[in-house]
A and B are shown apart, each in its own frame.
Chain A
Amino acid sequence: MSGATLLKESGPREVFCGLTSIVWLHRRMPDAFFLVVGSRTCAHLIQSAAGVMIFAEPRFGTAILEEKDLAGLADAHEELDRVVHDLLARRPEIRTLFLVGSCPSEVIKLDLARVAERLNSKLNGTVRIVNYSGSGIETTFTQGEDGALKALVPLMPTSQDEQLLLVGTLANAVEDRLVKLFNRLGITKVSSFPPRQSTNLPSVGPGTRVLLVQPYLSETARLLKDRGAEILCAPFPLGVEGSMLWMQTATSSFGIKDSTVQEILNPLILRARQALTPYKEKLTGKRLFLLPESQLEIPLARFLNRECGMQIVEIGTPYLNKEMMSKELELLPENTVVVEGQHVEKQLDRVREKHPDLVVCGMGLANPLEAEGISTKWSIELVFSPIHGIDQSSDLAELFSRPLHRHELLNRKQLANA
């Protein structure tokens, strides 16, 4: 293991709950609908996190529990049946309906698995109903995707075929690029999960090697393993180095010769490193503080440190799966402070005290920090942007250098006068 110093902290947290991942999942699978069974708070959270992008009729919604639903669970079940029925009648294009549990539905013990089962037998396969929890008492932000994917695993067909399965939502263009690269490297069958069509689930079985695209899918990985797949352990595909090691983990597992891999990847690596240079100049020596939110904090810090020369002040992470992160932790410099959990006030005290050049944080904290003269980057942007793979490395670096660049532009006078 590395020299990272692992600390724990608890207290008030400032993170999204798992419902938030609906914001990108519904875009990945346009034939699916995400129905949260929750409160007005849940509805308001999703629409606020989705921000300005409201669609004519979004593919997510909330069945808002009302007083009478709390009074009797039997009625709540009936009511939910009615809501689902109305929804499906109105939106015949829906093929998969995710019933998403929330804190209120869990506290009142509304058993969505049973509801799903009942509705499935009623609907007779025309629409598939699955359920998972995105509640804030159980899940943090990106963990919602883990729940959604986990719910789909049992529906995946079985196959003995040798194949590579990429797990985690990717931007479509990035996915195409990565699949093509793997093909060129000699892995012929590459599928992605989640798929672009919810009904078009990839197969899984003993011949399947799973390569995780995102670091927050531990439960999904566990179920895939139960279905016979082998889970490859690699750093995550952020930055040149991470993406390269990630791809190499797959190629070596498929027995592809190193020389072949180098021949194909080296030109890409060279090009990507070149593209990184201007950002590296901007970022080198700058001090970075990551507040916990998306689970991408550790891989991002590793990239920004090793390839962009940033100094890490602190890495916050909402929770730490040491096994999943082992390859990442190994790459961190000696004595890097990794704090699991959060006490937002104490953490902000440390931010103020250490005065980093850039803070990666949630949207609620960004402007207040900016107002204190600290540049920020929203972590939610990182789960929406196409940042994975060797070719995207400079784009990823650009995301972090822009706030610094802007800060400089706006403070030029001051610097000159100083």
Chain B
Amino acid sequence: MELTLWTYEGPPHVGAMRIASSMEDVHYVLHAPQGDTYADLLFTMIERRGKRPPVTYTTFQARDLGGDTAELVKSHIREAVDRFEPKTLLVGESCTAELIQDQPGSLAAGMGLNVPVVSLELPAYSKKENWGAAETFYQLVRGLLTNQTSTKEQKEHLPNRWKEANRRPKVNLLGPSLLGFRCRDDVIEVKKLLSDFGIEINVVAPLGASSDDLRKLPEADVNVCLYPEIADSTCQWLERNYGMPFSKKVPIGVGATKEFLEELHELLEMTPPDKNQISRKSRLTWYSESVDSNYLTGKRVFIFGDGTHVLAASKIANEELGFEVVGLGTYSREMARPVRAAAKELGLEALITNDYLAVEAAMEEVVPELVLGTQMERHSAKRLGIPCAVISTPMHVQDVPARYSPQMGWEGANVIFDDWVHPLMMGLEEHLIGMFRHDFEFVDGHQSHLGHLGGHQEKPKDDPQSIPSESSSSEESPTWTPEGKEELAKIPFFVRGKVRRNTEKYARQAGCRKIDGETLYDAKAHFKA
């Protein structure tokens, strides 16, 4: 039993809903009680979808349990098939139905429906949303393809057969889904990117795909695994069964986009892209070099989110923006291994957890200047008074912007530069406003977006006023004199926490009981040395 106040991922059947809703002609009959229908609002509210997810919930009640719940399942299946006429029917259960073991999948299979049925078994008590999405996508692809007699050509798949066939190379883009981070725009950007190199798109799935599209997957030369969380198992299966190789680089960031293109060219046995074709295509490179960006040097950044975006972010932060990564972690157990490896390379230990309070505590400990995280890290960072940009799901409605804002490709890198640097600048502005707050232009209460976004006004924890004064503190910890506090207040808020902690640490080491302005400067010199 695990005490959870808030969870990064939903249950696995929500992952299945993401796949079903992403596709065109799939319907999902979910054996579940009425309350589970809440999941619709994730799609209609967070993504502002104007369509209901294609899901029929059986909404069984306690009084049904004594009777024939199997018959109930069947009648819902029949009705859903008649009403929605799907091309593929997904059948599965949520946590509660898993316990009553009606086996809706086999029930459906025995009904003689004239539509392919894919039965989903998603263990709700051990797995989570992303796993459920990946498993559903995999089962769908497998289910639809194994019903097909594969042609000889498919079995002996050669990634360079496009040459012989005298056509352009074509690839599948696998993994984009609803409720994924910026998938809508990533697909557009990657399509654009590939068309620059004459690479055509065979199928994009699951986002926008039909059942027939899935049947066409083997017609591509290579698979592009855009979001490993969702598509890795499917890509592996297609490789095993159809000999289709797949790309492993995710094109988020300038360097990763280059590597992705090179990898894809190699897989397709194309001549490697011309250097000119892949350098300095994103403004991120020059923006980062420009003198204005000097102040970004060594910014301490804390990164937490899903595996894909966290890995990409740490590389961009480290190699392309000259930041210092001081914390790295993910809630995605499936991606723990690569994230651990990446952290190790940076001399860090990865934080693998589903507990947002542990993430907040880690953040508080390293006192970063920028947090890159999920919507929850935005809240935590706000409480700690640290600027934050959201780079991963779970997200809010505000993280699904109206404007074009991919993360992938050259334009994605531009977007990332803006999205990360903007909060840092606003943080600086906030500080300047603080410094000049006695000037008449600055009316009381004026704040940047950091102050008023969303409304709960909490004092940042390092507000000098909230430091316990001399009389109230305990034996061991040194106390701040009023003059010391005044000096501390002059330190920009985004480093204040760090300075305060360092100074207290120094004071303890030096056996100093009272911290005044001098102690602060002593500490500063001590830690620089």
> What residues make up the interface of A, taking CB atoms closer than 8 Å to B?
11-20, 38-45, 47-49, 52, 54-58, 60-67, 69-70, 76, 79-80, 82-83, 86-87, 103-104, 106-108, 135-138, 140, 345, 362-368, 370-372
Contacts and interface: CB of A to CB of B under 8 A. Distances in A.
Given A17-B35, A41-B10, A64 B1 contact: yes
B100 A107 contact: yes
Interface centre among B38, B41, B61 (most CB of A within 10 A): B38
A62 B10 CA distance: 13
Contacts of B340: none
A67 B124 CA distance: 9
A371 B50 contact: yes
Contacts of A17: 33-36
B36 A43 contact: no
Nearest to B61: A137
A345 B82 CA distance: 12
B519 to A, nearest CB: 31
Given A13-B34, A135-B33, A368-B49, A69 B1 contact: yes
B60 interface: yes
Interface stretch (B51-59, B233-241, B462-470): B51-59
A86 B3 CA distance: 9
Given A137-B65, A368-B52, A40 B3 contact: no
Interface of B: 1-7, 9-11, 13-14, 33-45, 48-52, 56-62, 65, 76, 79, 83, 94-96, 99-100, 123-126, 128, 357, 376, 379, 383, 396-397, 454, 456, 458
A135 B6 CA distance: 19
B3 A367 contact: no
B52 A365 contact: yes
Contacts of B42: 48
B2 A64 contact: yes
A44 B1 contact: no
Contacts of A45: 35-36, 38
A48 B456 CA distance: 18
Contacts of B33: 17, 103, 135-137
A66 B56 contact: no
A76 B1 contact: yes
Contact of B125 (A49, A66, A135): A66
Contact of B40 (A14, A62, A345): A14
A79 B58 CA distance: 31
A318 to B, nearest CB: 9
Contacts of B58: 12
Given A52-B396, A366-B44, A104 B1 contact: no
A66 B2 contact: yes
Contacts of B96: 39, 41, 103-104, 107, 136-137
A12 B57 contact: yes
Contact of B376 (A14, A54, A64, A66): A54
29 contacts: A12-B58, A12-B76, A18-B35, A39-B95, A40-B95, A43-B4, A44-B11, A44-B39, A45-B35, A45-B38, A47-B6, A47-B7, A52-B396, A56-B458, A57-B5, A62-B3, A65-B1, A80-B1, A82-B1, A103-B95, A106-B62, A108-B99, A136-B36, A362-B41, A363-B41, A365-B44, A368-B49, A368-B50, A371-B50
A145 to B, nearest CB: 15
Contacts of B61: 137-138
Nearest to A50: B6
A140 B41 contact: no
B379 A40 contact: no
Contacts of A82: 1
Contacts of A16: 34-35, 37-38
Given A43-B6, A370-B50, A48 B34 contact: no
Contact of B34 (A43, A47, A136, A365): A136
A342 B128 CA distance: 30
Q: What are the 4 closest A-B residue pairs judged by CB atoms, nearest first? A: A17-B35, A371-B50, A364-B40, A136-B35
Given A12-B76, A41-B11, 8 more contacts: A14-B40, A17-B35, A54-B6, A66-B126, A76-B1, A135-B62, A136-B34, A368-B51
A368 B44 contact: yes
Contacts of B94: 41
Nearest to B380: A56
B10 A54 contact: no
A62 B11 CA distance: 13
Contacts of A362: 37, 41
A100 to B, nearest CB: 12
A12 B56 contact: yes
Given A17-B34, A57-B5, A371-B51, A52 B99 contact: no
B7 to A, nearest CB: 5
